[in-house]
Amino acid sequence: MRELVDKLEENKVLSKEEYILLIKNRDNEISEYLFERARAVQQKYYGKKVFVRGLIEFTNYCRNDCLYCGIRRSNRNAQRYRLTKEDILNCCREGYELGFRTFVLQGGEDPYFTDERLADIVSSIKEDYPDCALTLSVGEKEHESYQMLFDAGADRYLLRHETADDAHYRRLHPPELSPERRKKCLYDLKAIGYQVGCGFMVGSPYQTAENLADDLGFIKELQPHMVGIGPFIAQRDTPFRDMKNGTLEQTLIMLSLVRLTLPYVLLPSTTALGTIDPTGREKGILAGANVVMPNLSPVSVRKKYLLYDNKICTGDESAQCRSCLQMRMKGIGYETVVSRGDCVSPEPDAQN
Ligand code: SAH
């Protein structure tokens, strides 16, 4: 097993079977070795520095009905909200003062936010904060919409592929959503020139080790700048309410495998990881992640953006979230930095 870890670190191609062996591994010593090597690669490219992104959850209206997600359209218990442009700009102002140089606008697929409205918000943020990067995470759109938002100034786009396996994708989504379209969106975004992030949930219902190996294969093929990974966590108002959550161990293994597969990648240690384990985000960094995303949304709406149950940090002010994470990182010997936090590889395709 150690040889497989070494092979991956040397940037050799692993077969799907080899990936599956590593994914299924439950030997603590091997896991520790995997985390150690992933950490070495993370530190080689980024030092002991962690990038911070200010997350603004600006709408929880969604036209989609993903079976796992708490803001799916058929959830009648979700209290819907959307922030105004002024609210969003206020979040950015507060975030800027706290040292954020990347803002992430995330939301459901809310038809109120037309391309024009979103482009206007994007260009206003970029006008006020030209030294900041702006990331969008607002789901699937046509090529021309992505282009318009890029032209308005958006730098990055997060769109988790959720699972690379088509049959598995269909079990997690309603029939009107297709795995082909999801993947096409990612290739469109890349072609337009966005720094692109894909990603998946670990331990989502019906997921197999083979599915996870395919996720790594897809990541290797797409060569994204970022990969967002977190455990699946059941949400009480969804059809998956009784499904088992993803585990800390499996999520950490996947973070390390992504780090070794794409050495330069920007890899967040997610809120979901902090939700299933009190020090999950620290453990994520120690398994190779190098980004944290404290919440900048106004406290009044925090409890409404409930993708999953027991989400942490829903009562804290932005400044509290910022300093809490800073302290947590310091506690494990890492330092949070004030910078846009771009990917060190200008051209991730040149990684191998
Ligand atoms: N509408 C945007 C943002 C989706 S929410 C989009 O389509 O990209 C961001 C991510 O939260 C999703 O991509 C999904 O992977 C994750 N998520 C949703 N429900 C979840 C759950 N129950 N447990 C863990 N993660 C979840």
* Nearest partner of 199 among 293, 111, 295, judged by Cα: 293
Looking at the predicted structure, is the pLDDT value of residue 351 above 80? no
Question: Could you tell me the pTM of the whole model?
Answer: 0.97
Position of tokens 């991956």? Answer: 8
Confidence of residue 263 (pLDDT cuts 50, 70, 90): very high
Residue nearest to atom 13 of ligand 1 (CA): 160
Domains assigned to the chain? 2-7+15-341 (3.20.20.70)
Question: Closest Cα to atom 18, ligand 1: which residue?
Answer: 69
Q: Let me know: does 245 contact 276? Beta carbons within 8 Å.
A: yes
Where does the pLDDT of residue 348 fall: very low under 50, low under 70, confident under 90, or very high at 90 and above?
low
Indicate the top mutation candidate among 57, 68, 109, 149 to test ligand 1's pocket, ranked by most ligand atoms within 8 A of CB.
68
Average pLDDT on 188-204 reads 98
Residue 94: band (very low, low, confident or very high) from pLDDT cuts 50, 70, 90: very high
Q: Are 55 and 106 in contact (CB under 8 A)?
A: yes
The model's pLDDT over 64-77, given as tens digits with 9 standing for 90+, comes to: 999 999 999 999 99
* pLDDT band per the 50, 70, 90 thresholds, residue 347: low
Tokens found for residue 185: 């969106």
User: Is the CB of 246 within 6 Å of ligand 1?
Assistant: no
Please report, rounded to a whole number, the percentage of residues in the chain having pLDDT higher than 90: 95
What does pLDDT average to over the chain?
96
294's tokens = 């404290």
Question: What is the helix (H) or strand (E) element at residue 49, kind and residue range?
Answer: strand 49-52
Q: Order across the sheet with 49-52: list the strands.
A: 291-292, 49-52, 335-337
Distance in angstroms (rounded) separating the CA atoms of residues 169 and 176: 12
In this predicted model, what pLDDT tens digit does every residue of 296-335 receive, in sequence order? 999 999 999 999 999 999 998 999 999 999 999 999 999 9
Q: Decide whether any atom of ligand 1 lies within 6 Å of the 55 Cβ.
A: no
CA 181 to ligand 1 center in whole angstroms:
17
Note the pLDDT of residue 346.
54
Q: Is the pLDDT of residue 352 over 70?
A: no
CA 140, 248, 291 angle in degrees (round to 5)? 55
